[in-house]
Copies of this chain bind each other. A is one copy, B any other.
Amino acid sequence: MNQVFFIIGVSGSGKSTVGKLLSKQMNIPFFDGDDFHPEENIKKMSNGIPLADDDRHGWLLTLNELAKKQLENRSCVIVCSALKQKYRELLSAGFEKNTKWIHLSGSFEKVFERMNNREGHFMSSDLLKSQIDTLEEPEHAITIDIQLTPEEIVKKIKNEMLDKSEFGLLGLGVMGKSLCRNLANNGFKISMYNRHVEGLEENVALDFKNEYQELSSVLQFDKLEDFVNSIQKPRKIMLMVNAGKTVDIVIDDLLSHLYEGDILIDGGNSNYINTKERFNNLKKKNIHFIGTGVSGGEEGALKGPSIMPSGDLEAYKKVQPFLETIAAKDENNLPCCTYVGPEGSGHFVKMVHNGIEYAEMQLLAEVFSILSATGKNPGEIADVLETWKNEADSYLLNITINILQKKEDNDWLINKILDKAENKGTGNWAAKTSAELGIPSTLIASSLFARYLSFYKEERLKISNLLDNETDYNLNLTSEELLKAYQFARIINHYQGFNLMSEASKAYSWNLNLSEIARIWTNGCIIRSDLMTELVTVLKESENLISFSKITEIIKKIRPSANKVVSQCVLNNIPAPCLSEAVNFLNGLSTTNSSANLIQAQRDYFGAHHYQRLDDETGQYYHTKW
Residues of A bordering B, CB below 8 Å: 174, 297-299, 361-362, 364-366, 368-369, 372, 395-396, 399-400, 402-404, 406, 413-422, 424, 428, 431-432, 435-436, 438-442, 445-446, 448-456, 459-464, 466-469, 526, 544, 546-547, 552, 555-556, 559, 563-564, 566-571, 573-577, 580-581, 583-603, 605-609, 611-615, 624, 626
B435 touches A445 (CB 8 A): yes
A594 partner, pick from B174, B419, B597, beta carbons under 8 A: B419
Residue from B435, B440, B454, B598 within 8 A of A453 (CB atoms) = B440
**Contact among B418, B577, B589 for A442, CB-based, below 8 A:** B577
Q: Are B571 and A567 in contact (CB under 8 A)?
A: yes
Most B-side CB within 10 Å, residue of A456, A467, A576:
A467
Contact B598 A464, beta carbon cutoff 8 Å: no
Q: A599 contacts B421, CB within 8 Å?
A: yes
- Report how many copies the assembly holds: 2
Complex CA gap A567/B584 in Å reads 11
Chain B proximity of A268: nearest CB distance (Å) = 13
- Pull 19 A–B residue pairs with CB atoms less than 8 Å apart, ordered by A: A364-B602, A403-B605, A417-B613, A417-B614, A418-B611, A418-B613, A419-B595, A420-B596, A424-B609, A428-B435, A428-B438, A438-B452, A454-B599, A464-B591, A467-B559, A526-B606, A559-B573, A566-B567, A567-B568
Which chain B residue shows the least CB distance to A296?
B606
Main secondary structure of the interface of A (DSSP, over half): helix
Give complex CA distance A167, B580 in Å: 52
Partner of A547, one of B463, B547, B552, B597: B463
B418 touches A597 (CB 8 A): yes
CB distance from A34 to the nearest CB of B (A): 55
| Cβ–Cβ contact A596 & B450, under 8 A | yes
Instruction: Give bound CA distance, A142 to B610, whole Å.
Output: 47
Asked if residues A399 and B602 are in contact (CB atoms below 8 Å), the reply is yes
On chain B, the residues within 8 Å of A452 by CB distance are: 438-440
Contact B626 A399 (CB under 8 A): yes
- A614 CB to closest chain B CB (Å) equals 5
B369 and A417 contacting across the interface, CB-CB below 8 Å: no
The reply to whether A605 and B399 contact each other, CB–CB distance below 8 Å, is yes
Residues of the B chain whose Cβ atoms lie less than 8 Å from the Cβ of A414: 597-598, 601
Known contacts: A577-B584, A589-B459. The answer to whether A422 contacts B606 by CB under 8 A is: no
Measured CB to CB, the closest approach of chain B to A535, in angstroms, equals: 18
| Min CB–CB distance A359 → chain B (angstroms) | 11
Across the interface, name the chain B residue whose C-beta is closest to A605. Answer: B399
The residue that A588 contacts in the complex, of B438, B442, B577, B581, with Cβ under 8 A, is B577
Contact, CB under 8 Å: A436 / B445: no
- Given the complex, which residues of B lie within 8 Å of A613, measured CB to CB? 416-418
- Given A403-B626, A440-B449, A612-B420, A592:B365 Cβ within 8 A: no
Closest to A408 in B: B624
Given contacts A400-B598, A417-B612, A446-B581, 12 further A-B contacts (CB under 8 A): A299-B606, A402-B605, A417-B611, A418-B611, A428-B438, A435-B448, A442-B445, A456-B589, A460-B588, A460-B590, A463-B547, A467-B590
Residues of B within 8 Å of A552, CB to CB, are: 466-467
Could you say which of B460, B580, B606 contacts A580, with CB atoms under 8 Å apart?
Answer: B580
- Residue of A362, A431, A442, A591 most packed against chain B (CB within 10 A): A591
Name the contact of A463 in the complex, choosing from B453, B463, B590, B609 (C-beta under 8 A). B590
Give the complex CA separation of A438 and B454 in angstroms.
Answer: 11
Q: Give chain B residues whose Cβ lies under 8 Å from the Cβ of A608.
A: 174, 297-298
Q: Which residues of B contact A576 (CB under 8 A)?
A: 584, 587
Question: What's the Cα separation between A417 and B602 when bound, in Å?
Answer: 11
CB atoms of A449 and B442 under 8 A apart:
yes
Give the most central of A414, A417, A463: most B CB within 10 Å: A417
A403–B598 contact, CB under 8 A? yes
Cβ of A395: which chain B residues have Cβ within 8 Å of it?
Answer: 606
Give the docked Cα–Cα distance between A440 and B599 (Å): 24
Residues of B within 8 A of A567 (CB): 566-568, 570-571
Q: Choose among A174, A462, A466 the residue with the greatest number of B CB atoms under 10 Å from its CB.
A: A466
Is there contact, CB below 8 Å, between A614 and B418? yes
Q: Whole-angstrom distance between the alpha carbons of A462 and B548 in the complex? A: 12
**Which residues of the other chain, B, contact A468 by a CB distance below 8 angstroms?**
556
Report the minimal beta-carbon distance from A254 to chain B, rounded to whole angstroms: 27
